[in-house]
Copies of this chain bind each other. A is one copy, B any other.
Amino acid sequence: MIRFAPIAATLPASVPFVGPETLERRTGRPFAARLGANENGFGPSPRAVAAMQAAATDAWKYGDPTSFDLIDALAAHHGVQPGNIVVGEGIDGLLGLLVRLLVAPGDAVVTSDGAYPTFNFHVAGFGGTLHKVPYRNDAEDPQALLDRATETGARLVYLANPDNPMGSWHKGAVIQAMLDRMPEGALLVLDEAYAEFVPAESMPDIDPDDPRVIRMRTFSKAYGMAGARMGYAIGHPDLIAGFDRVRNHFGVNRTGQAGALAALADQDWLARVVTWVAAARDRIAAIAAHNGMTALPSATNFVAVDIGRDGAFARRLVDALATEGVFIRMPGVAPLNRCIRISCAPGPELDILAQALPRALKTL
């Protein structure tokens, strides 16, 4: 009855991730520990909270469609020009716009099998053809990505550093070397959602005007503002200007703009969060070891825990933990799906995890 356009007509009514609220409605009770979406329960800077609360009375005004003040502050923070930065409704929103700008129907795009599903959702959504290479030693494999990009004439190559869902991480020099070997016509989509958990001097040193790469950043993770939907991208000014051709100019909310500006100004809070997250990773590793499992090294605010069993068992464990009131997720494909993925959180929520995990295992 509804005549969808050709690409839309072929798409499933898919949902990249089922939210915890949907799971809570199924079980009829709220999660006691929300550890599945790599949210940051240490929360935003108190200054960001205050800024968002103050902005609520101004909610009758549209946000500045240019996000001028925020982009200005971000440019100073990163030592780049304002023309190198675009702000959008989270990295998810920016990934969709990027695919739309660069990928025509049938164009090849390369990613890793098990990497961020929402990127794949956007590639499919604009008719791109997705090519996947396997992880290598639980990390995305730059050489395999480059080889496949060359073979397929890819327009985009996606790599998250640090990686989600495994938490692994490549040194800056590896990323820089990858950039130098990118095939002609391909753009590296470098998803740095978890970058703030890595010391700045260990991240790749990339010229902001380099036309071979775009870097995705967010206030959702280390800054603790997932609900505010504030993401940004750093790239060549011509590419960044391209977003103005297609973006929802008034799509970013005013409260989030105010919160992001205040959060960025409070780097002391960020540094404390990074310390707390590191301690939480150790705690999760200890809980895992106590249950006969092995935490993988992580440079993010989550830990992939190898449970030493297959994906079917891991799925049952995720479900059993949900029954125990603990929300976690797991990688979607083998061999990554021998792991469960647990987000860092304050002590009380990890206490709940520590109590729930042995109980959940006993039910299996």
Contact = CB atoms under 8 A, between A and B. Distances in A.
B22 A92 contact: no
A155 B7 CA distance: 15
A191 to B, nearest CB: 15
Interface in A1-46: 1-8, 11-17, 19, 21-22, 25, 34, 37, 39-44
B56 A259 contact: yes
Nearest to A230: B253
A125 B243 CA distance: 11
B65 A40 contact: no
A249 interface: yes
Contacts of A42: 60
Contact of A228 (B19, B59, B238): B59
A219 to B, nearest CB: 9
Contact of A248 (B12, B58, B90, B255): B90
Interface stretch (A47-55, A142-150, A198-206, A352-360): A47-55
Contact of A255 (B3, B4, B227): B227
A103 interface: yes
Count chain B CB atoms within 10 A of each CB in A40, A56, A107 and give the residue with the most: A56
Q: Which of A57, A104, A227, A244 has the most chain B CB within a 10 Å cutoff?
A: A227
B3 A63 contact: no
Contacts of A25: 68
Task: Identify which of A89, A104, A229 gathers the most chain B CB atoms within 10 Å of its CB.
Answer: A229
In the complex this chain forms, how many copies of it are found?
2
Interface string A271-311: 00000000000000000000000000000000000000000
A56 B52 contact: yes
Max chain B CB contacts within 10 Å: which of A238, A239, A246?
A: A246
Contact of A17 (B2, B17, B65, B229): B65
Contacts of A125: 245-246
The residue among A185, A220, A250 with the most chain B CB atoms within 10 A of its own CB is A250
Contacts of A37: 61-62
Nearest to A96: B248
A68 B22 contact: yes
A155 B242 contact: no
Contacts of A96: 248
A362 B12 CA distance: 61
Given A60-B44, A107-B5, A254 B227 contact: yes
A251 B89 contact: yes
A242 B68 contact: no
A64 interface: yes
B226 A60 contact: yes
A227 B104 contact: no
12 contacts: A5-B102, A14-B244, A21-B68, A42-B60, A43-B57, A59-B225, A62-B226, A93-B251, A228-B253, A229-B250, A253-B255, A253-B256
